[in-house]
């Protein structure tokens, strides 16, 4: 069992009671904690008057231990789900800032392909010209 603050316990209990109002929590403990892609995930083992559940934070969600008998399986599923959930407005705005760099990435990819196919001096000189074009595009966008 991992240490948990009263605030964490209360937060997880409130979440569970909100999601499963017909169940009564009889026991709960934090059993695992991990950081994946800068997101902190705590795994809680929740016992109720009827069954057991996992509550996993970092995009908090609950999972039946009948369907996910293994904690690692539940955590792996949770992280995959969190990665696939539609992005927030802030994340979408951040993506818009990257859009102008599309041509830069495309030219970089073309230069990378050209260097793998180069066979003689003229081919390598052409790669150098492509790299110069990438730098000029980058300066223009930035």
Q: What is the per-residue pLDDT for 94?
A: 59
Which residues in the chain come in under a pLDDT of 70? 86-99
User: How high is the pLDDT of residue 95?
Assistant: 58
Gap between the Cα atoms of 85 and 59, Å rounded: 10
CA distance 75 to 35: 11
Cα gap 113→129, rounded to integer Å: 14
Please give the backbone phi and psi of residue 120, each rounded to the nearest 5 degrees, phi first. Answer: -140, 180
pLDDT value at position 53?
A: 97
Listed by start position, the domains of the chain span 6-85, 91-141
Structure tokens that stand for 92 in this block: 């979408």
User: What is the spatial distance between Cα 79 and Cα 69, in angstroms, rounded to a whole number?
Assistant: 17
- Give the pLDDT of residue 142: 80
Q: What is the pTM of this model?
A: 0.61
Beta bridge partners of 84: none
């Amino acid at each position: 069992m991992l240490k948990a603050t009263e605030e964490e316990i209360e937060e997880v209990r409130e979440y569970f009671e909100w999601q499963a109002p017909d169940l009564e929590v009889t026991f709960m403990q934090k059993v695992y904690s991990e950081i994946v892609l800068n997101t902190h995930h705590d795994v809680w083992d929740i016992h109720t008057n009827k069954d057991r559940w996992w509550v996993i934070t970092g995009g908090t969600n609950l999972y039946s231990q009948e369907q996910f008998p293994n904690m690692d399986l539940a955590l792996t599923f949770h992280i995959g789900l969190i990665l696939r959930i539609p992005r927030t407005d802030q994340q979408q705005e951040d993506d818009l800032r990257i859009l102008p760099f599309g041509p830069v990435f495309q030219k970089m990819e073309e230069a990378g392909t050209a260097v793998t196919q180069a066979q003689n001096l003229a081919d390598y000189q052409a790669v150098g010209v492509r790299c110069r074009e990438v730098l000029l595009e980058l300066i223009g966008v930035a």
